[in-house]
């Protein structure tokens, strides 16, 4: 490689790093998580406030740093706990045995079509 090629590669990497950092810093924070139990709204909670919500003694939902996850559930398969974290508009965590749904409403759109654990 020539010296100019190396300089070009470094410049491209720096530009990509700056763009990624700016996107992360400027991404919209906020929004809210709505928890429904058996089709009825249990509560709506801000993603800006770190909190732990005990849902009817069946599920424990944790909101921390704008990210939501199901920490505990008393259902047999615990699939809702294994679903992982959500933080973008329209994402959901569903606990079928307890008829509990946690859904995000925010201006932040997911960068991915599908998330896997």
Residue 80 Rama label (left phi>0; alpha psi -120 to 50; beta):
alpha
More confident residue, 101 or 31: 101
Closest among 105, 86, 83 to 95, alpha carbons compared: 83
Residue 17 Rama label (left phi>0; alpha psi -120 to 50; beta):
alpha
Q: What is the dihedral of CA 108, 110, 115, 117, to 10 degrees?
A: -40
Q: So what's the pLDDT on residue 113?
A: 53
Whole-prediction pTM value?
0.68
Average pLDDT estimate for 42-68: 94
* Cα(29)–Cα(32) distance, integer angstroms: 10
- Interval 1-32: pLDDT, tens: 789 899 999 999 999 988 877 666 655 556 89
């Amino acid at each position: 490689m020539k010296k100019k090629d190396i300089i070009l590669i470094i410049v491209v990497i720096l530009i990509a790093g700056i763009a990624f950092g700016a996107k992360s810093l400027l991404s919209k924070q906020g929004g809210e998580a709505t928890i429904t139990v058996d089709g009825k709204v249990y509560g709506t909670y801000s993603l800006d406030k770190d909190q732990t919500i005990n849902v009817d003694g069946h599920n424990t939902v944790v909101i921390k740093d704008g990210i939501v996850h199901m920490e505990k559930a008393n259902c047999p398969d615990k699939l809702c706990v294994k679903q992982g974290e959500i933080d973008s508009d329209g994402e959901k965590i569903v606990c079928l045995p307890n008829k509990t749904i946690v859904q995000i409403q925010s201006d932040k759109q997911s960068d991915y079509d599908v998330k896997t654990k």
